[in-house]
Chain A
Amino acid sequence: MTRLANAFGKSHPALVCFVTAGDGPTDAVLDALVEGGADVIELGMPFTDPMADGPAIQLANLRALGKGTKTADVFRIATDFRARHPDVPLVLMGYANPMIRRGSDWFADECAKAGVDGVICVDTPPEEDAELGPALRGAGVATIRLATPTTDAARLPQVLETATGFLYYVSVAGITGLQQAATDSIEQAVARLKAGTDLPVAVGFGVRTPEQAGAIAKVADGVVVGSALVELVGQHGEDAPAKVRELTAALAHAVHSAKETAA
Chain B
Amino acid sequence: MNDAPAPNSFRNQPDDRGHFGQFGGRYVSETLMPLILDLEKEYNRAKTDPAFKAEFEDLLEHYVGRPSPLYYAERLTEELRKNAPEGPNGEKMGAQVWFKRDELNHTGAHKINNCIGQILLAVRMGKTRIIAETGAGQHGVATATVAARFGLPCVVYMGAKDVERQQPNVFRMRLLGAEVKPVKAGAATLKDAMNEALRDWVANVHDTFYIIGTAAGPHPYPELVRDFQSVIGKEAREQLLQRTGRLPDLLVAAIGGGSNAIGLFHPFLDDPSVKMLGVEAAGHGLDKDHAASLAGGSPGVLHGNKTYLLQDEDGQIIEGHSISAGLDYPGIGPEHSWLKESGRVEYTSATDKEALDAFQLLCRTEGIIPALEPSHAIAAVVKVAREMPRDAIICANLCGRGDKDIFTVADALGVEL
Residues of A near any B CB (own CB < 8 A): 47-55, 58, 62, 65, 70-71, 95-101, 122-125, 127-128, 131, 145-152, 155, 159, 170, 172-175, 178-179
Contact = CB atoms under 8 A, between A and B. Distances in A.
A187 to B, nearest CB: 20
Task: Report the contact-size class of chain B (Cβ under 8 Å from the partner).
Answer: 35 or more
Nearest to A74: B314
B29 A125 contact: yes
A124 B316 CA distance: 17
B30 A101 contact: no
A150 B314 contact: no
Interface string B308-350: 0101011111000000000000000000000000000000000
Nearest to A176: B199
Contact of B29 (A54, A58, A65, A123): A123
Given A51-B199, A175-B202, A71 B30 contact: no
Contact of B186 (A48, A70, A146): A48
B275 to A, nearest CB: 33
Nearest to B17: A127
A96 B301 contact: yes
Nearest to A152: B34
Q: Which of B30, B191, B202, B205 has the most CB of A within 10 A?
A: B30
B300 interface: yes
5 A-B pairs with the lowest CB-CB distances in the bound complex, closest first: A101-B315, A174-B203, A98-B315, A97-B315, A51-B195
B286 interface: no
A123 B301 CA distance: 9
A43 to B, nearest CB: 16
B28 interface: yes
Contacts of B123: none
Given A48-B317, A170-B30, A123 B304 contact: yes
Contacts of A96: 27, 301
Nearest to B319: A48
B300 to A, nearest CB: 5
B120 interface: no
Contacts of B30: 125, 145-148, 150-151, 159, 170
B34 A150 contact: yes
A97 B304 CA distance: 11
A125 B198 contact: no
Contacts of B306: 131
Given A123-B301, A125-B29, A146-B29, A175 B203 contact: yes
A61 to B, nearest CB: 9
Contacts of A62: 186
A131 B25 CA distance: 10
A179 B34 CA distance: 21
B36 to A, nearest CB: 9
